A and B are shown apart, each in its own frame.
Chain A
Amino acid sequence: MSEDKNENMVPGQEQPEYALDDERRVKVLSPGAMVAKRFFRNRVAVLGLVILTIMFLFSFVGGLVSPYKEDQLFYTETLQKKEYAGAVKNEDMRFMGAEGQDFSSIIQAQVVLAVTTRKDVVTYRDVNYHVTQEGQDFYSVALDDGTTIGIAYTDVVSSSIEGRKLDFDFVFATLKAYTNGQDAFTLDGDSYTISEGGLVEKDGEELAFVSRYVINAISPDIFLPREFQEELATSLEAGDDMFTFTDAEGVESEYYIDYKPDVKNWIVRQETYTRTYDRYAAPSREHPLGTDRNGMDMLTRLMYGGRVSLVIGFIVEIISLIIGVILGGLAGYFGKGVDFLIMRIVDIFYCIPSTPIIIILGAAMDTMGVDPQIRMLYLMLILGFLGWPSMARLVRGQILGLREQEFMVAAEASGLRVSRRIFRHLVPNVIPQLIVSCTMGIGGTILTEATLSFLGLGVKFPFASWGNIINDVNNTFVLQNYWFIWIPAGICILLTVLAFNLVGDGLRDAFDPKMKR
């Protein structure tokens, strides 16, 4: 009963002439090719596949191609009103002690007391202090033997020359002259002139100036020239809120004055170009999708985020798959007690409220200050561990159905070992359904991870993930004005999950032998 009775090799022809009933006459598709053909015939599934390929390339190859790093910060020069100086009108008495004299604050307090009670002498600890008024709001304090130990004043003498400190005698002489309306004084043989405005000069060189206003720069290494302080003082008297000043190099700057009534001082701000983080920059050529809240490039973050989201999706699914297949397989194959036990465990897992647990674990990891990378690992493990029950049920159902098929009975009748029956006969028939279920599952996992990261429980800064990027949008201002923050990330998630679902559907149709086409 041989079937190649009439097999002739006709020379010159490519295919030998087969008998009509020899099945080599008609070529058929191999099993793999058949599945592939049915898959590619389904246009929607092919579309899903194309989208997936694009997303993969974008996430994995894009990260290598992009010139920026994931957490690279960008700076920009913005015109900012920075605090420049503070001014206060001096109402209180100030003190300066002579070199080498003891003029502590307790003594100062006694002086204040004396002035207010109009006494000449005040005693403290058996020491007499003589308070003499030298001029308007200007007093000197001396001991019994006439040594001046200090002065009390309200007009402040500041040095015009940067870096040069004024000594006690100079200040004393200046104030004495100023408060008495004199326009000149001598000290140690040098003659100084004082202008009305309080400018002290010697031989035409400006040395110091006197003013009621105390003006200090915010930054300790900035020296405010006298002209500046005078300008400022004038403005303050006038009550202006802005003045312009041209400095020694000829650079004109604007200064803004803010009065703070509760502390009775003025803040002077200067508009300068400062180097700040380039936050929320609009899309441009350097940053095709702009920058985010921290000044990092959106497009690059999107790429790295895609990498994270996809990898998490895959690994979680693989973990669920491994646990699910093993437990589901055991339950399905052995039935009875083992099945009962495993299915009750599955039931318990289904009763676990996964969202509260993840929230609690997220908060716990926050307090413990877990490193972001380790945190991602924990996240994957937890999600994988919460996802295996559905996989196990699927595998168990498949195996229960397949177990009763005749080829399994035939395998048993051949005396094959149990392990061989399971792994060579049962499992390969379960694989199509598994593939379908996994592709759909990855889509779901990506959504879950995005949700968690959005809530701040998943992937943490500085690592990017698509959900994490959307986390920025928690107020309507950002939502309305900075569309480039959340729309691209949202679109990425949408496309990826949709594509996974389409591919999963397409695979299911392709594997189903009963489909007509």
Chain B
Amino acid sequence: MANENVRSDTLLEVKDLVKYFPIKGGFFGRTVGQVKAVDGVSFTIKRGTTMGLVGESGCGKSTVGRTILRLQEKTAGEVRLNGVDIFALSREELRRVRPKIQIIFQDPYSSLSPRLPIGEIIGEGVREHKLVPGNEFDDYITDIMHKCGLQEYHKDRYPHEFSGGQRQRICIARALALKPDFIICDEPVSALDVSIQAQIINLLRELQKDMGLTYLFISHDLSVVEHISDTVGVMYLGNMVEFAETEKIFDHPLHPYTEALFSAIPVPDPNYKMKRIVLEGSIPSPANPPAGCKFHTRCSKCMEKCKYAVPEWTEVEEGHFCACHLFNNAEQNARAEQAMKEARTARPAAGA
């Protein structure tokens, strides 16, 4: 709490974040299992940059976003925003910090309250936190709306009268009006048409330049992520498997999953011969993930130790992290072999 105003280069720091959802079963509602939505994720974001978080459904990227904002309680780990531990704040303090950390949701159709006019939706947070003096309020709202490509006469309209792209603009305006430092964009363009996607992405970049915002851009659309992000993290089944600067990761992805993911993107060129790596099987359930490396059931380069030993998060090159046994150094290999032996004696005949 004391270091609220420390201006360091790092805006967000996430360490070993864990979020499990209990599965209640049995007669008395006992917890019979856990959905391991986020299983130990660590990364940092520098001020004024954009980090892209990619992965498929069930990998936990949305959960990471919401947990960072404390819209859900964590199970373990640490989240520091501007040096402040988000989870150590009281309810009231948290409420007052909220304008600084905003989120834009995926579905523009359900993230706007259907019975309030747009002006209200955008302005109520501002009024609540008294960010702008009373007499400047209307002008401020109009200004924000113009920045987001909306017109003043939209203020009295209701959400259902707008198209998807415009609703997303309204959501952006709502987030922007609170003068945030950090915005989590949770798949903001997935539900929109291609030409509108481009507009929204350009808008987000413009706003970042003008207002010095920091983004965590969550998406499953790799081409968009590549365009907008400075760093990229790839998630699979609750773990981060690779993290690096955008150029590096798209240039030479290390982790087999990242490779497969990148190769699956359709390229708008009819004569392009895809060297597509098609993954076998489907994504396992996060309630019952495979032992060892969670990806080993679908990996084409799977080794014996991958079935038993969890790979460690290593910095393979400068700024390029990966969690895969293919890039273990000697020590890590030894540890992995050890883990394999132990697991074998405890549980003979491993299953996939």
- Does B174 sit within 8 A of A, measured CB to CB? yes
Q: Is the CB of B203 closer than 8 A to any CB of chain A?
A: yes
> How many A-B residue pairs lie within 8 Å, measured between CB atoms?
79
Per-residue contact bits, chain B 160-195, to A (CB 8 Å; 1 contact, 0 not): 111100000001001000100000000000000000
The interface size bin for chain B is 35 or more
Contact B116 A1 (CB under 8 A): no
Asked whether, in the complex, the Cβ of A410 is within 8 Å of the Cβ of B111, the reply is: yes
By a CB distance below 8 angstroms, the chain A residues around B98 are: 413-415
Q: Flag if B116 contacts A3 (CB, 8 Å).
A: no
Contact A23 B161 (CB under 8 A): yes
User: Which residues in B have their C-beta under 8 angstroms from that of A412?
Assistant: 71
Residue B221 at the A interface, CB < 8 A?
no
Which of B99, B151, B199 is the one whose CB lies under 8 Å from A414? B99
Q: What is the minimal beta-carbon distance from B196 to any residue of chain A, in angstroms?
A: 11
> Assuming the A-B contacts A3-B149, A428-B115, are A410 and B199 also in contact, with contact meaning beta carbons closer than 8 angstroms in the complex?
no
Residues of chain A within 8 A (CB-CB) of B199 are 1
Tell me which residues across on chain A come within 8 A of B107, comparing CB atoms. 406
Task: Indicate if the CB atoms of B149 and A2 lie closer than 8 Å.
Answer: yes
A4 within 8 A of B: yes
- Docked complex: B109-126 residues within 8 A CB-CB of A: 110-116, 124-125
In the complex, the answer to whether B69 meets A413 with C-beta atoms within 8 Å is yes
Q: Which of B126-159 contact A (CB under 8 A)?
A: 128-129, 149, 151, 153, 158
Contact between A424 and B102, CB atoms less than 8 A apart: no
Complex: A213 Cα to B93 Cα, angstroms: 110
- Give which listed residue, B69, B110, B149, B158, contacts A31 with CB less than 8 A: B158
A26 CB to nearest chain B CB (Å): 10
- Cβ of B298 to closest chain A Cβ, rounded Å: 31
A456 to B160, CA, bound (A): 53
- Evaluate contact between B96 and A415: CB separation under 8 angstroms: yes
- What's the Cα separation between A2 and B203 when bound, in Å? 12
Determine whether A57 belongs to the interface, using a CB cutoff of 8 Å to chain B.
no
With the chains together, A23 CA to B115 CA distance in Å? 20
CB-contact partner of A415 in B105, B111, B128, B161, under 8 A: B128
Within 8 Å by CB of B103, from A3, A405, A413, lies: A413
Given the complex, which residues of A lie within 8 Å of B160, measured CB to CB? 31, 513
With a cutoff of 8 Å between Cβ atoms, the chain A residues found around residue B110 in the complex are 405-407
Question: With A1-B203, A414-B99, A429-B114 given, is the CB distance from A409 to B71 under 8 Å?
Answer: yes
How far, in angstroms, from A425 to B125 measured CA to CA in the complex? 13
A516 within 8 A of B: no
Q: Are the C-beta atoms of B103 and A416 separated by less than 8 Å?
A: no
Cβ of A420 < 8 Å from any Cβ of B?
yes
- Asked if B95 is at the interface of the complex by the 8 Å CB criterion, the answer is yes
Q: Is A28 an interface residue (CB 8 A)?
A: yes
Contacts A407-B112, A407-B113, A414-B99 given; indicate if A420 touches B124 (C-beta within 8 A). Answer: yes
Partner of A424, one of B95, B101, B124, B203: B124
Interface membership of A417, Cβ < 8 A: yes
> Are B125 and A415 neighbours in the complex by a CB distance under 8 Å?
yes
Q: Mark interface residues in B64-103 (1 if CB within 8 Å of A CB, else 0).
A: 0010010100000000000000000000000111110111
Given contacts A31-B160, A415-B129, A428-B115, contact A410 B95 (CB under 8 A): no
Minimum CB–CB distance for B163 against chain A, Å: 8
CB-CB under 8 A from B161, the residues of chain A are 23, 28
A421: min CB distance to chain B, Å? 10
Does A50 touch B at the CB level, under 8 Å?
no
Q: How far is the CB of B98 from chain A (nearest CB, A)?
A: 3
| A411 within 8 A of partner (CB) | yes
Do B151 and A3 touch across chains, with their CB atoms under 8 A apart? yes
Q: Considering the chains assembled together, what is the distance between the CA atoms of A24 and B166 in angstroms?
A: 14
Chain B proximity of A153: nearest CB distance (Å): 102
A424–B203 alpha-carbon span in the complex (Å): 30
In chain B, what residue has the closest Cβ to A2? B149
Residues of B within 8 A of A411 (CB): 113
Known contacts A1-B199, A4-B151, A424-B116, A417 near B69 by CB under 8 Å: no
> How far is B115's CA from A513's CA once the two chains are assembled, in angstroms?
13
Contact across chains for A416 and B116 when beta carbons are under 8 A apart: no
Cα of A410 to Cα of B125 in the assembled complex, Å: 10
Residues on B with C-beta less than 8 A from A407 are 110-114
Measured in the bound complex, the distance between the Cα atoms of B162 and A24 in whole Å is 11
A residues 386-420 near B (Cβ < 8 Å) are 405-407, 409-417, 420
A180 and B124 CA atoms in complex are apart in Å by: 121
Q: Is the CB of B124 within 8 A of A1?
A: no
From A24, A28, A406, contact of B105 by CB (8 A):
A406
Find chain B residues with CB under 8 A from A414 CB. 98-99, 102, 124-125, 128, 174, 178
How many angstroms between the C-alpha atoms of A175 and B98 in the bound complex? 122
**Chain B residue with the shortest CB-CB distance to A409:** B71
Residues of B within 8 A of A28 (CB): 161
Bound complex: CA of A429 vs CA of B105, how far in Å? 20
Residues of A contacting B128 with CB < 8 Å? 414-417, 420
A2 and B149 CA atoms in complex are apart in Å by 6
Nearest-CB residue, chain A, relative to B101: A413
Instruction: Find B174's partner among A23, A31, A410, A429 (CB 8 Å cutoff).
Output: A410
CA–CA, A405 and B115, complex, Å: 14
* B-chain residues with CB within 8 Å of residue A2 when the two chains form the complex: 149, 151
Known: A407-B112, A410-B171. A1 touches B149 (CB 8 A): yes
Do A406 and B111 touch across chains, with their CB atoms under 8 A apart?
A: yes
Q: For B116, what are the chain A residues with a Cβ–Cβ distance below 8 Å?
A: 424-425, 428
Chain B residues lying within 8 Å of A415, measured Cβ to Cβ, are 95-99, 125, 128-129, 178
Give the Cβ gap from B339 to chain A, nearest Cβ, in Å. 40
Q: Which residue of A lies closest to B124 (CB)?
A: A416
Chain A residues with Cβ below 8 Å from B125 are 414-416
**Known contacts A2-B151, A31-B158; 6 further A-B pairs (Cβ under 8 A):** A23-B163, A24-B153, A414-B102, A415-B97, A416-B124, A417-B128
Q: Provide 21 A-B residue pairs closer than 8 Å at the C-beta atoms, listed in order of the A residue.
A: A2-B151, A3-B149, A3-B151, A23-B162, A23-B163, A405-B110, A407-B114, A410-B103, A410-B105, A413-B71, A413-B101, A414-B98, A414-B128, A415-B95, A415-B97, A415-B98, A415-B99, A417-B95, A420-B124, A420-B128, A424-B124
Q: Which 4 residue pairs of A and B lie closest in terms of their CB atoms, listed nearest first?
A: A415-B98, A414-B125, A406-B111, A428-B115
What residues make up the interface of B, taking CB atoms closer than 8 Å to A?
66, 69, 71, 95-99, 101-103, 105, 107, 110-116, 124-125, 128-129, 149, 151, 153, 158, 160-163, 171, 174, 178, 199, 203
